[in-house]
Amino acid sequence: MERPEITLDFSPDLHLFVAQPRRTGRSTARTDGVSSLGHVVESLGVPLTEVGELLVDGRPVAFSHVPAEGEHVAVRAVTRPQPLPGPARFLLDVHLGTLARRLRLLGVDAAYDSVDIGDAALAARSAAEQRVMLSRDRGLLRRRELWAGGYVYSHRPPEQLRDVLSRFAPPLAPWTRCTACNGELREAGKESLQGRLAAGTEKSFEVFAECTACAQVYWRGAHHARLTAIVDEAVRDFGTARPVTS
Ligand SMILES: [Zn+2]
């Protein structure tokens, strides 16, 4: 079978996924003559979740395009913010617990389980609940069942948070979601929490919220300065705060 030779050029944002010789401009590849361009790009290491446009000789093509001899392919990274086919909801893999809690702190729907349920179950949940699968595992991001996916580029939670917020631009509603379980918070008066608060807490703070899913109680004044700093920075750079209190 004829094996067409093509040239490829990867956007700088995608360089971390490809071998060193492909990071400096045009490189060549031989394809099998039947595989789609999406498959070819993926086989060179780039998760398709990270690919925006594919251009062949300057014209956009579908991932299903079968490359022919002599074609030049430009592989572009996803645009930011990246449009999604539905509301920005997320599912994070077992390694991203800190990022999950920070997204919840900002009111972003971020499902996360500290028990590893495996790639197949995660992908199925992404599809069933229409959640963007966030992971640093390229194998997981290659799964076809995913509703949508995003590679998390950094190891560090502060950069991970900026990465996700700049990429998907989810609406922010700080202090409206339980950081422990992702449930939504509702306001709760002191009287309804009688007997569930330490005496000092009850005296010092006026605003209470309760998780509608796990009943965890929150009070504004007790938020650690570090959490407030995370919220303030995120709201400043990526959104507007919706106040919780009336
Ligand atoms: Zn909860």
Its pTM stands at 0.90
Question: Quick one: pLDDT band at residue 208, thresholds 50, 70, 90?
Answer: confident
Residue 204 Cα, ligand 1 centroid: separation in angstroms?
Answer: 23
Among candidate residues 45, 77, 109, the one where a domain is terminated: 77
Residues 89 and 71 in one domain: no
Number of helices (H) and strands (E), helices first, in the chain? 7, 12
Domain of 151 in residue numbering reads as: 80-169
Residue 217 Cα, ligand 1 centroid: separation in angstroms?
Answer: 9
Q: What is the model's pLDDT at position 28? A: 96
Query: Cα 244 from chain centroid?
Result: 25
Residues 50 and 119 in one domain: no
Distance, CA of 11 to CA of 102 (rounded, Å): 29
Would you say the C-alpha torsion 232, 110, 91, 117 has a positive or negative sign?
Answer: positive
| Residue 116 and residue 129 in contact, taking contact as beta carbons nearer than 8 Å | no
The structural domain count of the chain equals 2
Question: Quick one: pLDDT band at residue 245, thresholds 50, 70, 90?
Answer: very low
Q: What DSSP character marks residue 165?
A: H
Q: Residue 133 belongs to what H/E stretch?
A: strand 132-135
pLDDT in tens, 35-91: 999 999 999 999 999 999 999 999 999 999 999 999 999 999 999 999 999 999 999
For β-strands 51-56 and 72-77, DSSP reports them as antiparallel
Residue 106 Cα, ligand 1 centroid: separation in angstroms?
Answer: 14
On the question of pLDDT at 244 being above 60, the answer is: no
Question: Quick one: pLDDT band at residue 246, thresholds 50, 70, 90?
Answer: very low
pLDDT in tens, 75-124: 999 999 999 999 999 999 999 999 999 999 999 999 999 999 999 999 99
Residue 210 Cα, ligand 1 centroid: separation in angstroms?
Answer: 8
Residues 87 and 65 in one domain: no
Residue 166 Cα, ligand 1 centroid: separation in angstroms?
Answer: 26
Residue 48 Cα, ligand 1 centroid: separation in angstroms?
Answer: 34
Residue 218 Cα, ligand 1 centroid: separation in angstroms?
Answer: 10
Residue 212 Cα, ligand 1 centroid: separation in angstroms?
Answer: 7
Residue 178 Cα, ligand 1 centroid: separation in angstroms?
Answer: 5
Residues 59 and 136 in one domain: no
Residue 214 Cα, ligand 1 centroid: separation in angstroms?
Answer: 4
Residue 139 Cα, ligand 1 centroid: separation in angstroms?
Answer: 31
pLDDT in tens, 215-224: 998 876 656 7
Residue 215 Cα, ligand 1 centroid: separation in angstroms?
Answer: 6
* More reliable by pLDDT, 204 or 131: 131
Residues 156 and 136 in one domain: yes
Residues 86 and 72 in one domain: no
pLDDT in tens, 159-191: 999 999 999 999 999 999 999 999 999 988 777
Residue 177 Cα, ligand 1 centroid: separation in angstroms?
Answer: 8
| Residue 19 and residue 46 in contact, taking contact as beta carbons nearer than 8 Å | no
Residues 58 and 97 in one domain: no
Residues 118 and 73 in one domain: no
Query: Residue 194: inside a domain, yes or no?
Result: no
CB atoms within 10 A of CB 161: 23
Residue 110 Cα, ligand 1 centroid: separation in angstroms?
Answer: 12
For residues 77, 121, 44 and 52, what is the CA-based torsion angle, rounded to 10 degrees? -20
